[in-house]
A and B are shown apart, each in its own frame.
Chain A
Amino acid sequence: MSHLLILAAEEKENPLIPPIPELVIGLLAFVIVFGFLAWKLLPNINKVLEQRREAIEGGIEKAEAAQTEAQSVLEQYKAQLAEARHEAARLRQEAQEQGATLIAEMRAEGQRQRDEIVAAGHTQIEADRKAAAQSLRQDVGTLATDLAGKLVGESLEDHARQSRVIDRFLSELEEKAEAAR
């Protein structure tokens, strides 16, 4: 029923020739979109994107600052530790040196005391020996004189008596020695 009309329409309308009203509406439609986007919505989102970028970069900067601080603290700590180690080593060294000196001093002192004691002992012994020799010499003289007097005073024929005298003398001598001890 509409074939003729369709053909008529086809002849009338070239699809490449734009009708004015559609051009106007097309322009209007696009201007609406462009207007809203360019006027408000894209600047809006750009602002937020910028804020986000800054927030991210701020976060990165913060993290970097924290890392730098941590690094410096670590270095400080390491330096302190090294210093402490050094100090400890120095103290140990000192103590060792002091100990060595003390030991050497004590050893020297001990040696000195020992030498002193030994010397004193020797002197004492020498003195005692001398005194002993002195007294022995006197005693021997006395004894000899006594013995001689006794021997001379007694009869020489009685051999038995003579030997008794000697025995007595010796025992006396022993007693003396006992008493002296």
Chain B
Amino acid sequence: MSADPTQVLAFETDCHIFDGCGFPAPGLHSFLFEPLWGDGDSNLYFNKTMLLALLGSLVIVGFFWAAFRKPKVVPGKLQMVAEAGYDFVRRGVVYETIGKKEGEKYVPLVVSLFFFIWMMNLWSIIPVAQFPVTAIISYPAVLAGIVYIIWVSLTFKRHGFVGAFKNFSGYDKSLGPVLPLAMLIELLSNLIVRPFTHAVRLFANMFAGHTLLLLFTIASWYLLNGVGIAYAGVSFIMVIVMTAFELFIQALQAYVFVLLTCTFIQGALAEHH
């Protein structure tokens, strides 16, 4: 993508079918943004996803600030909605997986994760923003990294060095001669693959979702010429359908991410057998 300042859309708007212009398919370039400030070659710049990430934080903090700053025993509408969300994560995710006694400590983390991820995903279908921040690997990577540090350090704290090693490697004497191989695979799976898949699961889902939305959106515009108009209509219906589907996927992926977080923490707390 050139650094053309007038170029604000993800594709070229003067390109239609039968105009001798190829379909401007979305691709990796749709996920690259010119810096709004600073120089892309150095590490000092500020782009759209960063802006959305910070704005999203403010939206969440603002929402919960308005709802929970002066909470009342008999809640107002906003507090009721916020309470429902809070209670869903606390009861439906944390208490269900870690349990009430051990899990209470992790409620703020998991609640923050859920609403943060959800908000970042939601940017995908909010007009003007229209980009899921989590489709940039950095953001899921940071979150998965935080979770990784928490559960790994928790395992060491809870079980000591040897216990933690057994926990990571799934040590089980009854495996006999295949034990070393099993332990190697388990170590690799738990300590290296797990955080990677944790981040990539969220990233890839949002990446794919955004690509699909882009594909149908661009197609709707691109086909808007001659007989193509009929196809453009179909494509536009798909845009609406996919938007609704994305709305669902966004919440689902936030839920999956925090559910996995809780499962990891629970695994760290569990006695190895």
Contact = CB atoms under 8 A, between A and B. Distances in A.
Interface of A: 1-2, 5-6, 9-10, 13, 15-23, 25-30, 32-34, 36-38, 40-42, 44-45, 47-49, 51-52, 55
Given A16-B137, A22-B138, A45 B108 contact: no
Interface residues of B, number: 54
B180 to A, nearest CB: 31
Nearest to B74: A52
Contacts of A38: 108-109, 112
Interface in B25-46: 27-29, 31-32, 43-46
Contacts, number: 131
Contacts of B107: 42
Contact of B71 (A2, A28, A45): A45
Given A37-B64, A42-B86, A42-B108, A55 B73 contact: yes
Which 5 pairs of residues, A with B, have the shortest CB-CB distance?
A22-B138, A18-B138, A38-B108, A48-B71, A26-B142
Contact of A36 (B50, B61, B79, B137): B61
Interface of A is mostly: helix
B50 A5 contact: no
Given A21-B43, A21-B44, A44-B68, A51 B73 contact: yes
Contact of A37 (B31, B47, B111): B111
B45 to A, nearest CB: 6
Contacts of A45: 67-68, 71, 79, 82-83, 86
19 contacts: A1-B2, A5-B1, A13-B28, A16-B203, A17-B137, A23-B142, A25-B50, A26-B139, A28-B54, A29-B56, A30-B146, A32-B54, A34-B116, A36-B65, A37-B108, A41-B64, A41-B65, A42-B86, A52-B73
A30 B142 contact: yes
Given A10-B29, A27-B146, A45-B71, 9 more contacts: A10-B28, A15-B137, A22-B50, A25-B53, A33-B60, A33-B61, A33-B115, A34-B108, A38-B109
